Structure 1
Amino acid sequence: MKRTSPAATSVFVYGTLLSGEPNHHLLRGARLVGPARTRPCFTLYDYGPFPALASKGQHTVAGEVYEVDAPMLAALDRLEGHPRFYQRSPITLDGGARVEAYLFPKARLAGCPTIESGCWRLHLQERESW
């Protein structure tokens, strides 16, 4: 059984960092824990080229969890503009695991469409067919 490094941070990704998506290369070398879903207390928004996850919603959001080391976490923070653009925060997933996720301030999402499915990949497929 592979042990978790004490310096590893579990991060929930739900958009452009997902496997096969444009920013996934930043997770090269990270350990994939597996697919995951949030508890039904978030909302996923379409922010144009990427999604935005906000707390205090009513949806379950689909994603993946990766274990990252400190340099990789710093690279993710830079990509996500933490803490000025996205804010990395601890969340609890469906099943009880505690992970870090990049949340977007809900006040800056006025007028953005919600992604009712809670799945960025499904939303991209639907958006392509519009």
Structure 2
Amino acid sequence: MNGGKTVNVFVYGTLQQGLIAHDKLAGRGARFLGRAEVDGYALYNLGWYPGIIPDETERVLGEAYEIDEPTLQALDLYEGEGTLYRRCLADVRLQDGEVIKAYVYVYNQTVNPQNKVPMEQQPWRRGE
């Protein structure tokens, strides 16, 4: 990171460690904050990638990162912010119990209820 302003982001899909788009974080010097979870959202398998939508009864498992503004802008492009996804600020709980504010990308389209991913199948991995 360039030493400027940083923000936190919660990822739950292809940006996670070991997955196809993780280099969009690791290749830009993102700082891994740890495994994390966000309440009030449900995870849906959309095929090649997942999406979350608001659901007060659910939670989603993923990872939290500290990133700089240029990385956030790059993620906005990757996620189709404003069309396919919208970026929202949420309370994210880290493994140690600390709650941080982090951006999450919320799916901005309709989902098939049959594609909901239960907690025991999280975090998301394509094809699992």
Runs of 5+ consecutive residues of structure 1 not aligned to the other structure: 126-130
Residue type at the aligned position of 1:15: G
CA distance in 1, matches of 2:73, 2:114: 28
Deviation at residue 84 of structure 1 after TM alignment? 1.1
Amino acid in the other structure paired with 1:96: V
Instruction: Count residues with an aligned counterpart.
Output: 118
Task: Provide the C-alpha distance between the structure 2 equivalents of 1:68 and 1:115, rounded to a whole number of angstroms.
Answer: 27
Q: Distance in 2 between matches of 1:46 and 1:57?
A: 18
What amino acid is the match of 1:44?
A: L
Could you say what secondary structure the match of 2:52 adopts?
strand
User: CA 1:47 to 1:57, structure 2 compared with 1: closer, same or farther past 3 Å?
Assistant: farther
| Structure 1: distance between partners of 2:124 and 2:52 | 10
Q: Tell me what 1:109 maps to.
A: 111
Could you list the per-position Cα deviations for residues 34-78 of structure 1 after superposition, in whole angstroms to 9, with x for gaps in the alignment? 110112x21100111000011124222111111111111111000
Please say if 1:19 is aligned against 2:17.
yes
Which AA in structure 2 matches 1:119? Answer: P
Q: Post-superposition shift, 1:24?
A: 0.3
Q: Give the partner amino acid of 1:50.
A: Y
Contact 1:42 1:59 in 2 (8 A): yes
The normalised TM-score by structure 2 is 0.83
Identity of aligned residues (%): 31
Q: What amino acid is the match of 2:32?
A: L
Secondary structure, counterpart of 1:109 in structure 2: coil
Q: Which has the higher strand share?
A: 2
Higher helix share: 1
- How far apart in 2 are the matches of 1:111 and 1:57? 15
| Mapped contact 1:59–1:116 kept (Cα < 8 A) | no
Q: What residue number does 1:92 align with?
A: 91
Amino acid at match of 1:16: T
Q: Would you say the 8 A contact 1:46–1:112 is kept in 2?
A: no
**Retained in 2: the 8 A contact 1:9–1:68?**
yes
Gaps of 5+ in 2: none
